[in-house]
Chains A and B, each alone.
Chain A
Amino acid sequence: MLEFLHDDLAILSVKEGCGEGECGACTVMLDNKPVNSCLILAVEADGTSIRTVEGEVKDGKLSPLQESFKKNHATQCGFCTPGMIMSAQSLLERNPKPNEEEIKEAIEGNFCRCTGYRQIIDAIFEVTKNAK
C-alpha cells in the first residue's frame, strides 16, 4: 500500500523509513485509524477510505495541528512529519484533551531523529488548550 500510494498515486507525504512497521514514517489513517501502510497490501485497502496529510489541508488552509507544528518548530528535516501528524491528529480525534503521557504513547510508533520530540509534544499540547 505504501508503494502504491507513493509511487503509483504520487502521494509523496507517505514515506518509507524502515519498511517493517517500526518507524511510523508511512503512517496513514485507514478508515480513520492510524496504521503502518508499509505492512498492508494495497488490495487489503479495497473499499476503505485512506487519509494522508495531504487531506488535512482544507481550502488551502493548514489544520490547527499543522499550524501548531509550524509555530512550535516541530519540524526539522520533515521526513517523519506526515506520519507524526496523522498519529497526533488521530489522538486528538479520540481524545481532545490528552495529557503528556497520552501524547507520548500516541506517537511512540513515530520516530523522529531531529527534534528530540520536545517541540512535537509541545505542538500537540498547544492544540489541546483550545479544545472544548
Chain B
Amino acid sequence: MLNHFTYFKPQTESELLEKVKSYGDDTKILAGGTDLLIYMKQGITAPKVLIDVKGISEYSKIVTASDGSISIGASVTCNEVIENECINKHFPVLVEAAKTLGSYQLRNRATVIGNICNASPAADMAGPLLVLGALVIIGNDSGGREILLKDFFIGFKKNILKVDEFVKAIKVPAYFRDAKSGYLKSSRIKGHDLGICNVAMCRVNGTLKVAVGSCAVTPVLLPDFESDRAGTKFVIEAAMNNINPISDIRSSKEYRKHMVKVFIKRLLEKGNSH
C-alpha cells in the first residue's frame, strides 16, 4: 500500500520551481516512477508530496544543439533514447547501455535522468554518461547550475542535489560525438536483471576513459588514460585500484573483479581493432 500524498503535475518550469521551494523536504520528483514507486510500496520512502515532471514539455525532448552536443530532458525514457536517430549515430554507447536496462515495458517508463538521480552503483546509464563527460543540468531558485556527472554521485544511492534542487537535463558535449565507445555488462540471466558489474569505455582525441559499475558505492570513473600508454595490464591495474566490490546475492567480489578485467580486455581489443 502507498502512503497518502499530494500529487502535482506542473506544466512549466517556473511552476515546478515554486512547488519544490514550497514543499522542500517532504517532496519527491516523479518521472518514470520505476524506482520511486517500488521504494514507496516497500515503505523505504513516504513522501507527502509528489511532483510529476512529465507535464513540462521541454523535459520530454532530446535536443541536438548547433555545436553537436545533445541534451536529454528529465522525462525522456530509455526507449526514446534507443529510438533516437542522432544518439544511435553519434553516441551509440548510450543506446547499447539503455538496451540492457530492465525490460521493454519498464524502459517505456524508466527515464535516463531517473536512473542517474537514483544513483545506484549498478545504474546502466551512469558508466556511458561518465565516459562521455556528461554534464548534469540542475534547476534551483538561484538560476540553476551545471556539474560534471562524476561529481554528482556522492555515496550509495546518494546524489549531490539539495532539497530544493532537481535535474532538468543531462548534456553530452560535442567533444565526445562519434567517439569510439562500448559497454559490457554481466548479469545472472540473459533477460532483465540488475547487473553483476559493468564497464563503459570511450576513446576520444588520444584519451581513453573507463567507467566501472556495481563495484563500489557509486559508479566509478577511472582517471583518464593517455591512449598510447594504456595497455590492458595498465588499465586493469588502475581499475583494481579504484574499485572496491562487495559479495552479495548477485555475485562474489572475486567474480566481480574478474569480470571487470575480462570486460576491460574485450573493450580494449574491440577499440584497437577499429
Contacts and interface: CB of A to CB of B under 8 A. Distances in A.
Contacts, number: 63
A35 B54 contact: no
B37 interface: yes
Contacts of A108: 103-104, 190-192
Given A40-B33, A41-B7, A41-B37, A24 B52 contact: no
Interface stretch (B105-113, B160-168, B221-229): B105-113
Contact of A35 (B7, B52, B105): B105
* Chain B interface extent, by class: 20 to 34
Contact of B34 (A27, A39, A105, A106): A39
B262 interface: no
Contacts of B7: 41, 43
Contact of A39 (B104, B109, B191): B109
A116 B106 CA distance: 22
Given A33-B108, A108-B191, A39 B38 contact: yes
A24 B30 CA distance: 21
Interface string B20-45: 00000000001001100110010000
Interface in A102-121: 105-106, 108-110
Interface residues of A, number: 24
A40 B109 contact: yes
A17 interface: no
Interface of B: 7, 30, 33-34, 37-38, 41, 50, 52, 54, 79, 102-106, 108-109, 190-192
In the complex, the 7 A-B pairs of residues with the closest C-beta atoms, listed nearest first: A109-B103, A108-B191, A34-B105, A33-B108, A39-B37, A109-B105, A20-B38
30 contacts: A19-B41, A20-B41, A21-B34, A21-B102, A21-B106, A24-B105, A30-B108, A33-B79, A36-B106, A38-B37, A39-B34, A39-B38, A39-B106, A40-B37, A40-B109, A41-B7, A41-B33, A44-B30, A44-B52, A44-B54, A87-B104, A87-B105, A90-B104, A105-B104, A108-B103, A108-B104, A108-B191, A109-B102, A109-B105, A109-B191
